[in-house]
Amino acid sequence: MRGFFVYYLKILWAFLVINESIASVTKLSPENVYKKILSLRSLPFEDCGSLYNVNYLNIESCSKVPCSMTRNSTVKVTVLFDDNGNGVSFLKHEVRWVFTYLKTKAAISPDPCDGDHNCILNVNESKSYWANIYVNPTLPVMRGSMLWEAKDENNKNLICFEVPVVITE
Ligand SMILES: *[C@@H]1O[C@H](CO)[C@@H](O)[C@H](O)[C@H]1NC(C)=O
Ligand SMILES: *[C@@H]1O[C@H](CO)[C@@H](O)[C@H](O)[C@H]1NC(C)=O
């Protein structure tokens, strides 16, 4: 009898837990579901102190890290972020290639992104920006990372992320 009661309690508990998880799934707004999907499609990156939440990172012709980047090529980078309704319309990029013994500034275009090039776009309730990064022919052929900072007019850091790369010939 007692065994049966414990069994019954277990079923009741399982039922409650399942109900709870269904409730938490259905509580997600379409916006949150969309962000969840975005984050699953994003390349993995390390956030290094973004003020605005970065939801998604895409690097042209890179589906997994480290991103292979060919010297003397131009690669398009796209980022989706929440500007918390602040109407961000200016971004000054400061991008560096980081290797074990070398840290060097990357050439980005357009920079700054000030709305003249359609480089900042509204995407649903969020913002996106794109920019091209030039893979300098003098970069060492080795693993490293790309450290991307985007700042506002007052040099305040809005976005910072780092992604592993490997430079190839
Ligand atoms: C905007 O969000 C909806 C879901 O809320 C999604 O289906 C749609 O693809 C999004 N639009 C863009 C341009 O990403
Ligand atoms: C870079 O590529 C261009 C063509 O896309 C070529 O003309 C140029 O010589 C290359 N530079 C180096 C340093 O390889």
Give the global pTM.
0.81
Q: Give the number of the ligand closest to the Cα of residue 70.
A: 2
* pLDDT of 11: 58
Q: Give the number of the ligand closest to the Cα of residue 138.
A: 2
Candidate CATH numbers 2.160.10.10, 2.60.40.1940, 3.40.50.2000, 2.60.40.770; the one for domain 43-168: 2.60.40.770
Distance 97 CA to ligand 2 centre (A): 20
Is any atom of ligand 1 closer than 6 Å to the C-beta of 34?
yes
Element (H, E) at 101: none
Is any atom of ligand 1 closer than 6 Å to the C-beta of 124?
yes
Counting atoms of ligand 2 from 1, which one is nearest the CA of 71? 14
Report the distance separating Cα 90 and Cα 113, nearest Å: 6
**Long-range contacts of the stretch 54-60 (C-beta < 8 A, 24+):** 54/79, 54/80, 54/81, 54/159, 54/161, 55/80, 55/81, 55/82, 55/126, 56/80, 56/128, 57/161, 57/163, 59/163
Is any atom of ligand 2 closer than 6 Å to the C-beta of 137?
yes
Report the distance separating Cα 7 and Cα 28, nearest Å: 33
Element (H, E) at 86: none
Is any atom of ligand 1 closer than 6 Å to the C-beta of 30?
yes
Residues 80-100 as b or e (16 or more Cβ within 10 Å = b): bbbbeeeebeebbbbbbbeee
Over the stretch 132-166, which tens digit does the pLDDT of each residue have?
999 999 999 999 999 999 999 999 999 999 999 99
Per-residue pLDDT of the chain (169 residues; tens, 9 = 90+): 566 555 655 655 565 555 555 555 556 788 888 888 888 899 999 999 999 999 999 999 999 999 999 999 999 999 999 999 999 999 999 999 999 999 999 999 999 999 778 999 999 889 999 999 999 999 999 999 999 999 999 999 999 999 999 999 9
- Domain positions in the chain are 1-41, 43-168
Tokens of 5: 């009661």
